[in-house]
Amino acid sequence: MIAQKPTPPREIAEMSLRLGQRIRSARAARAMTMKQLAAESDISLPYLSRVEKGDGNISLAVLYRIAAALNLPADHLLADDERYGSDYALIAELLKPQSAAQLRDIRQWLVGHLADRHSNDAATRRIALIGLRGAGKSTLGPLIASRLDIPFVELNAEIEKEAGLSLTEIFSIYGQAGFRRLERRCLDRVIGTYPEVVMATGGGIVVEPGTYELLLHSFFSVWLHADPDEHFRRVMAQHDVRIATPQLQKEAMSNIVDALKARQKLYALAHASIDTTHKPIGELAQRAVSLIRESLLTDFPALSAA
């Protein structure tokens, strides 16, 4: 047998650092604090801190628990996929359920049509509003739906109805993974129930590749966004008791910045985007409806007055 050369310590250190960065990025994208991830993965907070810094000497068992708490396959945290961008994970989700024969057909199609641009299905009359908390989804959604004369639903409200629990209780009892399973189930039901709808989503829906791919395929998606200060101002206006103290408010602002940074490339995959910073709600609703009508070329009714 040929003796294997030991892995140089430098390469191990670099791998550990990349792994820690992926865990930290996945946690930020899900708006989870380090304390929440430590509790849901049943490891100590100091140890998780070392892992995220790249010096935790993580075992496979601990890696599996962290991945499960993030509702990710463990190999997703090990795979060096960042260089491919956000689309890579979504394409992988599309390919996973295909048979060997179908994959051959897909490969042949890609070879012949790689330069073709993907076009959204112009017949769709489902609109999904995505973005961070405080982007304006719940405020703008009903106005857009009213002007288009179609129903409005909030996916988080559907999740609460499905579970018979508040979002806080769902996360407390079932964790991130349980919430994401409920989210996918409720998204499937919205698609099956509403041929036309405006749906406001939770901010973290984009971090689940399978769920997000389904949303992009089944809805015309609009990313509502604002600058971090505006997001924070709107969240503060909701008088959330979870950010009632200055220290909690500081953490909330930091979480907004981290989540936006971690999710920005995923949000940017939406079919359209609207900056809602410092703009009147009526103006934003008119802009959104005009954009939707122009993009989808469907027979939505004429715009009503602001």
Binding residues for ATP: 134-139, 242
* Residue 175 DSSP SS3: helix
Binding residues for Mg(2+): 138
Tally of structural domains, the chain: 3
The answer, yes or no, to whether residue 289 has pLDDT greater than 60, is yes
Of the pLDDT bands very low, low, confident and very high (cuts 50, 70, 90), residue 23 is: very high
Residues 86 and 60 in one domain: no
Instruction: Please state the pTM of the whole predicted model.
Output: 0.70
The answer, yes or no, to whether residue 209 has pLDDT greater than 90, is no
Mean pLDDT for 184-200 is 96
Mean pLDDT for 242-270 is 74
Binding residues: 134-139, 180, 203, 242, 263
Lowest-confidence region among 166-175, 187-196, 292-301: 292-301
pLDDT at 126: 94
Average pLDDT, the chain: 83
Binding residues for substrate: 180, 203, 263
Tokens 């991945």, located at residue: 67
Mean pLDDT for 267-283 is 89
Residue 277 or residue 233, greater confidence: 277
Mean pLDDT for 64-69 is 94
Q: What residues make up the domain containing 89?
A: 82-113
**CATH assignment of the domain containing 151:** 3.40.50.300
Residues 73 and 187 in one domain: no
- Which residues in 69-189 belong to E strands, given as ranges? 125-130, 152-154
Residue 140 near residue 281, CB atoms below 8 Å: yes
Residues 92 and 53 in one domain: no
Query: φ, ψ for residue 244 (rounded to 5)?
Result: -85, -15
1, part of any domain: no
Mean pLDDT for 218-243 is 74
